[in-house]
Structure 1
Amino acid sequence: MPKDWYEWHDLYNTEPVLQQRLEIVREYIAYSLNASPDGAIRIVSVCAGDGRDLLGTLKNHPRAKDVSARLVEINSNLVERGRATIESLGLIKQIEFINGDATLASNYVGAVPADIVIVCGVFGNLADEGELNRLLDNLSFLSKPGAFVIWTRGHSNGIPYSDNVRKVLGASGFEEVNFQLTATGDMAVGIHRYRSESLPQPKEQQLFVFSGVPRTAR
């Protein structure tokens, strides 16, 4: 089993379920780019890993030059790999990769509210439903009116954990655009659109507490 998040991301090379999830996430990112109004598109990615979901989409997308993005990730090895990809794509002036704590609101100041918010591989690494609700509430700080929010949630032991995510998002001013399960049925990917007003300040400095470990990540 992977001992850290850098090793965990290497599972994308061998695990079909992760490959399927990544394909759906990229599909939703591309959809969000296509559906965004003409002009600049601001993106933030929470717990971004090496950014392969966003960067892999921008590689061949016609609106790549419209994007300005901030990716936040605490693992320095993943950030280094992501920055190398950004450089190879010629997007170094548009995309900044912050090596910092994605749970802290201060790491998003100047980059939010965003047009597209990516929160993938996060919800399954929160301690409980209360912590999930706390993060979902704080998405109103990250998202501008009309923003797309792309998220993932794993299922296990026959429990469809994504049902609660969809319910809470719907009650928090987010309208569901699309939702898919991987072929295995145990990984969900959703895309919602924010239909309320942005919060000028977060409700609290720490947006959520990340408590997951790589060997049990969902």
Structure 2
Amino acid sequence: MDWQTWHADYDRPGSPLAQRLHVVQERIRQTLDTAPPGPLTIISLCAGQGRDLLPVLAHHPRRADTRARLVELDPANADAARAFGLPEVEIVTADAALTDHYLDLAPADLVLLCGIFGNIPDADVERTVAYSSHLTATGGTVIWTRHRRSPDLVPSIRSWFEQQGFEEWWMSPPDAPYGVGAHRFTGTPRPLAAGERMFAFV
């Protein structure tokens, strides 16, 4: 997969990816708008060029309160994210599936799992949802994406989040050409162990 070419659809008005991006950005903005006062931590797995978070954070009043880490394997996409030049955001060029990259930031107030669930086996999707209870602080939000093509895994993903102690506060309609969900963690975060792999792309 050429992940730089894949990003080109973001720039095509009306494309499903462009529509999904807008929806994810709105959920991020809403999360930041309603976050309690104080420091905020954000982690983004398989962050690509950071198009979901960085344009929102750059102009948001909570930017000064934020510490964020974006982990992306593709060097060119990671460089594109760095070009935003936000000092509050650390861009790490590495395998986002490894827990080691989040040990000092988890549990975080916002966890982004965008562009992942459509590219990994179903068992790894369930496994990553389980890891979300290690990555997310109590009251924190996970925003995730998944296509709605058959077989539609979105109902299962919603159930898996519920089983892990998350409450759904937003879900894209079933007739949308994309799936976007936002869940708030109501449980107690589990310790995040070093040296573990959450998923593998196929």
TM-score (normalised: structure 1): 0.87
Q: Which runs of 5+ in 1 are unaligned?
A: 212-218
Superposition misfits of 4+ residues, deviation over 4 angstroms? none
Report the AA paired with residue 52 of structure 1: R
CA distance in 2, matches of 1:102, 1:118: 11
> Which region of structure 1 is more displaced relative to structure 2, 198-207 or 44-53?
198-207
Cross-structure match for 1:12:
10
Distance 1:67 1:38 in 2: 11
Q: Secondary structure at the match of 1:201?
A: coil
Structure with higher RCO (Cα < 8 A, 6+ apart): 1
Q: Tell me if 1:168 matches 2:166.
A: no
Equivalenced residue count is 201
- Aligned to 1:101, what secondary structure does the other structure show? coil
Structure 2 spans left out of the alignment, 5+ residues: none
Contact between 2:100 and 2:195, CA under 8 Å: does it hold in 1?
A: no
Distance 2:68 2:58 in 1: 14
Is the contact made by 1:138 and 1:202 (CA closer than 8 Å) also made in structure 2?
Answer: no
In 2, Cα distance between the equivalents of 1:80 and 1:114? 24
CA shift in 2, pair 1:207/1:130, >3 Å? same
Structure 2 equivalent of residue 215 of structure 1: none
SS in structure 2 at match of 1:49: coil
The one of 173, 190, 194 aligned to 1:199 = 190
The alignment partner of 1:53 has SS state of coil
Deviation at 1:18, TM superposition (A): 0.8
- The change in CA–CA distance for 1:197 and 1:23 in structure 2 (over 3 A counts) is same
Residue 203 of structure 1 deviates from its aligned partner by: 8.6
Three-state SS of the structure 2 residue aligned to 1:198 is coil
Q: Quick one: distance in 1 between partners of 2:10 and 2:173? A: 17
SS at match of 1:200: coil
Report the counterpart of residue 36 of structure 1 in structure 2: 35
Give the drift of 1:186.
Answer: 2.6
Q: Report the alpha carbon displacement of residue 160 of structure 1 after superposing the two structures with TM.
A: 2.9
